[in-house]
């Protein structure tokens, strides 16, 4: 549907409406943030990529995000049209600085209804995206400019962007807000999910039998489906549910909810080597309890590798690629 809608947005006659919608589409900015863009909001990174400065009306923190060239061109055109306008600057209520806003007319800010709701409705009708009753949208729901924000977040997640990047682009202050986009829609997370919870997956660890037997309740499966990426540890995953509280084990390898896959074999081997080195060092120092602890961990890793059908040493068999 987005491919149908964008040509209609490009064809919008009003340069300010067109610029506002294109910025929304390509920046993920909130509508009120776009409404209050200053005249000097646009410049370039050293490599020539356009970048947008957002005041962060909701978070009270300014941020800079890359901007698609289509949006940058439309925005620059709007800036050029307004550059010689005689309207007075506004005084920012937080900083006390005088700001010349871009989207203004007759001394007032253009409303979000004018900049977003009206043109998006017109664009949807021009693109044939109209629901029964004449409302703009599709069978999946009403189309709005705010949905562009979700589109940007989802596309970033699906193309492998880090959680910190999603947070920075969208202006999120908490991880939980950005997690909406980095859940099971992320193809990398989906692949890992299938490697553990998919039919016939090769897994090892205390939680392996529970998964193989299908004894997880539906509520547990639902939680894992939407939060699976949060279960990752260094050497596998801890499938402990929130109701069970934090893991009580200092070593994840002995946790009853721990499970791992062949993709973690390189990390398991590296950890095994570290444990053996520490055991040797402890033996030289006469620390018998430490020797026992590190050797137990090394032996546990040997068991996990054997259950996964992986060699203990890289040269003994096919090498898996790490996640």
- Go through the domains of the chain in sequence order and give each one's CATH number: 2-178 (1.10.443.10), 186-323 (no CATH)
Taking CA atoms, 63 is separated from 13, 95, 237, in Å, by 30, 16, 34
Report residue 145 as tokens: 């400019």
Of 137-146, 201-210, 314-323, the one with minimum mean pLDDT is 314-323
Residue 78: half-sphere exposure toward Cβ, Cα within 13 Å:
31
Residue 27: alpha-carbon gap to chain centroid: 14
65/219: higher pLDDT: 65
HEC profile of 232-290: ECCCCEECCCHHHCCCCCCCHHHCCCEEECHHHHHHHHHHHHHHHHHHHHHHHHCCHHH
Residue 66 has pLDDT above 70, yes or no: yes
Q: What residue spans of the chain are helical by DSSP H? A: 2-10, 15-27, 31-35, 69-82, 112, 118-126, 146-158, 163-170, 175-178, 187-197, 208-212, 218-227, 265-285, 288-307
Of 252 and 209, the structure prediction assigns the larger pLDDT to 209
Task: Name which residue leads in pLDDT, 172 or 269.
Answer: 269
Percent of the chain with pLDDT over 90: 25
Cβ pair 27, 52 in contact under 8 A: yes
Q: Is the pLDDT of residue 258 over 50?
A: yes
Percent of the chain with pLDDT over 70: 75
Is 296 or 71 the better-scoring residue by pLDDT?
A: 71
Rounded to two decimals, the pTM is 0.55
Structure confidence by residue, pLDDT tens digits, 233-257: 667 877 877 677 655 544 556 677 7
Distance in angstroms (rounded) separating the CA atoms of residues 212 and 177 = 33
């Amino acid at each position: 549907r987005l491919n149908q809608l964008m040509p209609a947005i490009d064809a919008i006659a009003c340069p300010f409406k067109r610029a506002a919608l294109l910025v929304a589409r390509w920046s993920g900015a909130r509508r009120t943030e776009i409404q209050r863009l200053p005249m000097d909001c646009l410049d370039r990174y050293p490599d020539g990529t356009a970048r947008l400065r957002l005041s962060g009306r909701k978070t009270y923190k300014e941020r800079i995000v890359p901007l698609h060239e289509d949006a940058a061109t439309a925005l620059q055109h709007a800036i050029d049209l307004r550059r010689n306008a005689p309207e007075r600057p506004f005084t920012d209520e937080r900083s006390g600085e005088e700001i010349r806003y871009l989207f203004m007319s007759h001394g007032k800010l253009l409303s979000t209804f004018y900049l977003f709701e009206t043109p998006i409705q017109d664009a949807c009708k021009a693109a044939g995206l109209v629901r029964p009753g004449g409302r703009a949208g599709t069978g999946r729901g009403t189309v709005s400019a705010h949905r562009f924000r979700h589109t940007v977040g989802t596309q970033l997640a699906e193309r492998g962007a880090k959680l910190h990047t999603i947070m920075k682009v969208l202006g999120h202050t908490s991880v939980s807000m950005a997690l909406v986009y980095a859940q099971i829609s992320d193809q990398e997370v989906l692949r890992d999910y299938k490697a553990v919870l998919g039919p016939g997956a090769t897994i090892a660890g205390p939680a392996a039998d529970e998964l193989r037997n299908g004894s997880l309740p539906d509520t547990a499966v639902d939680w894992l489906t939407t939060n699976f990426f949060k279960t990752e540890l260094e050497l596998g995953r801890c499938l402990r549910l929130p109701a069970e509280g934090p893991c009580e084990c200092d070593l994840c390898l002995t946790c009853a909810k721990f499970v791992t896959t062949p993709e973690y074999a390189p990390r398991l081997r590296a950890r095994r080597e570290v444990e053996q080195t520490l055991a040797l060092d402890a033996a030289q120092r006469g620390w018998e309890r430490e020797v026992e602890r590190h050797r137990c961990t090394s032996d546990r890793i040997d068991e996990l590798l054997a259950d996964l059908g992986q060699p203990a040493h890289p040269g003994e068999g096919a090498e898996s690629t790490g996640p």
